[in-house]
């Protein structure tokens, strides 16, 4: 089977070596399309591929139509909103992600950003500590769980809400489960977002919700920019001059947020999963999932069922 790795932003060399060893070790053929600049290059490369591994690359209906033999696409990473899952389903193409492979990387970044935030972005003035603060984790998935684990090391009081994870599972991880998003924001000094971008979550982080944060509250986003209602957050930050917004996904309104000097920070580009470890883990997991799919039809990580 021909497995195409199509990456506008390539994997690190160690990851490519690992993917190659996995794919070829299982008797499949690896084709690399890295740093492509034109859509046509992707359309040509995918034409005879049986499987494809992508990162943030857009898998649109046009790409799926060009991929006459494609049976499976694996997004090496957690979020898969770059793949048109519904159209892939129509075309009988399995879409998978590689959950959990970059979650420690994202969770560590949350704390790097939080320490930076509570110390006033290292402006020389006295800041505050994370110890004893109430942290709300919105969505207790792979990243959320890692955030909870690290937060306990900081001796924070940890709360979580997840629409689909049972309260018992949250409590079993030593975290206080609350009944709603509202309750999470109401109870906490800091809320960290770990929800995926779905029709339900897009624009859901609005002024009514963020306005419930305690005085000197912090909203931190390492999920997706689409979940934030940017106009409402801008208006709220103008009114609530105690609030901080820290994000790993630059908002569309970055320039307007920048006027809140000392209360706003965005990484220049998404850094959450940018570690050698996460990069390698996700790529190799994608290769293993493709091998398992061709060997015995395994679709354990399918996201377009
Ligand atoms: P995950 O699939 O393991 O967890 C997502 C959790 O969200 C699940 O527990 C699910 O039950 C919950 N959820 C879904 N809809 C919800 C809703 N409406 N309300 C409350 N909870 C809801 O994903 P993950 O690995 O933890 O990643 C979370 C998100 O973080 C990803 O979807 C992705 O967008 C983002 N992410 C960003 C980076 C980065 O580089 N900054 C890297 C990895 C992931």
Place of tokens 């046009």: 62
* Angle value at C-alpha 275, between 169 and 16, nearest 5 degrees: 110
CA pair distance 179, 174, nearest whole angstrom? 16
For the chain, the 3-state helix, strand and coil shares in percent, each to the nearest 5, are 40, 20, 45
Task: Give Cα 110 distance to the centre of its chain.
Answer: 12
Q: CA torsion sign, 109 to 115 to 118 to 123?
A: negative
3-state secondary structure of 305: coil
Q: What domains can you pick out in the chain, each with its CATH number?
A: 2-101+274-296 (3.40.50.720), 103-266 (3.40.50.720)
Give me 11's structure tokens: 């994997």
Pocket test for ligand 1, best of 78, 97, 142, 203 (most atoms within 8 A of CB): 78
Give me 235's structure tokens: 């208006």
The ligand 1 site (C-beta within 6 Å) comprises 77-79, 99, 102-103, 106, 139-144, 162-165, 194-198, 200-201, 222-224, 248, 270, 272-273
Task: Give Cα 190 distance to the centre of its chain.
Answer: 19
Residues 6+ apart with CB under 8 A from 137: 144, 147, 148, 151, 158, 159, 160, 161, 175, 184, 191, 192, 194
Q: Which atom of ligand 1 is nearest to the CA of 272?
A: 40
- So what's the pLDDT on residue 79? 86
- So what's the pLDDT on residue 78? 86
CA pair distance 34, 27, nearest whole angstrom? 22
* Intervals of the chain under pLDDT 50: none
Instruction: Supply the pTM of this predicted model.
Output: 0.87
Dihedral, CA atoms, 166, 169, 173, 177, nearest 10 degrees?
Answer: 30
- So what's the pLDDT on residue 41? 98
Ligand 1: centre distance to CA 223 (Å): 7
Give me 136's structure tokens: 């709300």
Residue nearest to atom 37 of ligand 1 (CA): 223
């Amino acid at each position: 089977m021909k497995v195409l790795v199509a990456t506008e932003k390539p994997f690190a060399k160690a990851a490519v070596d690992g993917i190659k060893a996995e794919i070829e070790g299982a008797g499949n053929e690896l084709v690399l399309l890295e740093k492509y600049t034109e859509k046509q290059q992707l359309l040509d490369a995918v034409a005879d591929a049986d499987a494809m591994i992508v990162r943030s690359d857009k898998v649109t209906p046009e790409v799926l139509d060009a991929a006459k033999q494609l049976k499976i696409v694996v997004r090496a990473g957690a979020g898969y909103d770059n793949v048109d899952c519904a159209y892939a389903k129509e075309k009988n193409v399995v879409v998978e992600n590689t959950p959990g492979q970059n979650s420690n990387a994202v969770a560590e970044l949350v704390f790097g950003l939080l320490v930076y935030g509570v110390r006033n972005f290292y402006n020389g003035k006295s800041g505050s500590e994370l110890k004893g603060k109430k942290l709300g984790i919105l969505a207790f998935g792979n990243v959320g769980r890692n955030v909870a684990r690290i937060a306990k090391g900081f001796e924070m009081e940890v709360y979580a809400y997840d629409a689909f994870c049972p309260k018992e599972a949250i409590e079993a991880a030593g975290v206080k489960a609350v009944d709603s998003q509202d309750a999470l924001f109401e109870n906490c000094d800091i809320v960290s977002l770990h929800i995926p971008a779905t029709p339900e979550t897009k624009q859901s982080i609005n002024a009514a919700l963020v306005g419930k944060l305690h005085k000197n509250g912090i909203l931190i986003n390492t999920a997706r920019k689409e979940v934030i209602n940017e106009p409402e957050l801008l208006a709220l930050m103008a009114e609530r001059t105690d609030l901080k917004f820290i994000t790993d996904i630059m908002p569309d309104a970055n320039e307007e947020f920048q006027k809140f000097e000392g209360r706003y920070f965005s990484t220049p580009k998404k850094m959450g999963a940018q570690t050698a470890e996460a990069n390698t883990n996700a790529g190799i997991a994608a290769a293993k999932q493709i091998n398992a799919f061709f060997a015995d039809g395994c679709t354990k990580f399918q996201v377009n069922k």
